[in-house]
Amino acid sequence: MEINGKTFLVTGGAQGMGRSFTHELAKLGANVLFCDLNQEKIAIVEAECTNFTGNVKGIVLNVAESDRVVDGEIEQGIDRSARNMEAFINTAVDLFGDVHGIINNAGIIRDGLLVKKDRNTGETRVLSNKKWKQVLDVNLTGVFLGARTYADWHIKNNKKEGVIISISSISRHGNQGQSNYSAAKAGLVAMTALWAGELGRYGIRTGAIAPGFTKTPILEGMPEEMLQKLVKPVPLRRVGEPEEVFKAIRFIIECDYFTGRCVDIDGGLRLP
């Protein structure tokens, strides 16, 4: 699939890696509708993309649980986030006339050990239901809703080609203190493989990308000493750049014989 002239949805597109994905797609001539929770950051990204070849528009939307889309209110209900994803796609169609793919990038971290014992008191603290649910809602259910809504729209409208790309993580192999995050990131890779078989007949390809330590505001805010310890086990001895992760997105979009696989962009790092 050519990127130039196509339209893509990007969730979490106003910050971190999502901001870079929005930029790079627009530089290549794609129209991008991205969503995020921070209206101020949305406006900044829109301004940054003004001179790019593609057109860029951002809206306020929570992929897991939100009633608000752009300036209107979505009807209250049990599955309101699903209706929000429909509004997300419909907004892209209204703005750009079509949708050719979705990059499920939005994600959060709420780390904690499954059970931690206090050395002094002997009391235990467990990973809370709230933290578990928050991460699964955004990082897994949000991906499910985005993929399902896009695929349903694609099939109903008899579109010929489409792509669903979801951002996983090296933590999908299991990372201590990240039961919720690891479960979600492993789950979306499994769904990616499953959807390849279900959706290929409709011209929809799927792909997942698993970045390692990547330069984002979170890492940039770490003390230098801590950052050096972080990258020491990475064979390339550095963190990745968001633009390097985007190269995998570009490959998946442009390679019409790619589907159902996960691409690791981790500098060769292997988690214990």
Catalytic residues: 181
What contacts 82, CB < 8 A, 6 or more positions away? 145, 148, 149
User: Hey, which residues does 99 pair with through a beta bridge?
Assistant: none
**Alpha-carbon gap, residue 144 to 137, rounded angstroms:** 10
Structure tokens at 209: 């990308």
Best CA proximity match to 106, nearest among 7, 187, 35, 202: 35
**Alpha-carbon gap, residue 79 to 35, rounded angstroms:** 19
Using only the alpha carbons of the chain, give its radius of gyration: 19
